[in-house]
Amino acid sequence: MSIPETMSAATMHGYGGPEVIVVGTCPVPQPSSTQVLIQVEAAGVNGPDIMQRKGLYPAPPGASDLLGLEVSGKVVARGADVTAWALGDQVTALTDGGGYAQFCVADARHCLPIPGGISVRDAAGLPESFVTVWSNLFLEGGLEAGRTLLVHGGQAASARRPFSLPRRSAFASSPPTARRNGAGSAPNSARTASSIIRTRTSCP
């Protein structure tokens, strides 16, 4: 496709409530050697976006000043060192900002294929929570086969993700929301205060 020089984006005129966000025109970002350029179909909305809009969470140095930390869409350009993604691939990705726009760059290593059965639009809400949980459970927490996982606050978005990541036989004392998202039910389901989920894991 022919990539335009400019794009529409959600820009901010000052800090505050949603009313500070207006549609503006910005240059289309250019991918570095390790980035891809994504034609955005959908963007996730996260707490840091709201905090940044309020002026409480500044963008890190070098990052886009546009909101939007996760997107889904189609790869339309790639840097010279990118080999994992081809033009036209449908991806969902974590970004350093800039997702609330028609085009957004992302590190190629922070892109994921869209799972089967999930629409491109819905996939925009996957990276932030799933990558956070994966990092905490497997990279930092060392979760492995045979270990027990205890999840507190099983109704929160990120707290629901562990139910779908480890393959398991589980029993839980948890609210209905947690059970609907994959936690099993313990014999005493009255103990619901912390969404206590004990999981025997069979990890990837």
pLDDT the model gives residue 49: 94
Of 65, 100, 125, which closes a domain?
125
Residue 74 has pLDDT above 80, yes or no: yes
Domain interval for residue 24: 6-125
Number of domains in the chain: 2
pLDDT the model gives residue 93: 96
The arithmetic mean of pLDDT across residues 84-110, rounded, is: 96
Supply the pTM of this predicted model.
0.75
Gap between the Cα atoms of 20 and 67, Å rounded: 12
Residue 166 has pLDDT above 60, yes or no: no
Residue 147 has pLDDT above 50, yes or no: yes
Asked if 44 and 127 count as a contact pair (C-beta separation under 8 A), the reply is yes
Confidence of residue 171 (pLDDT cuts 50, 70, 90): very low
Residue 176 has pLDDT above 60, yes or no: no
E strand segments, the chain = 6-12, 21-27, 35-43, 70-78, 90-94, 103-107, 111-113, 148-150, 167-173, 196-202
Instruction: Quote the percentage of the chain above a pLDDT of 70.
Output: 74
**Widest CA span in the chain:** 61
pLDDT the model gives residue 141: 83
The arithmetic mean of pLDDT across residues 22-44, rounded, is: 97
Is 1 part of a structural domain of the chain? no
Q: Do 117 and 54 sit in the same domain of this protein?
A: yes
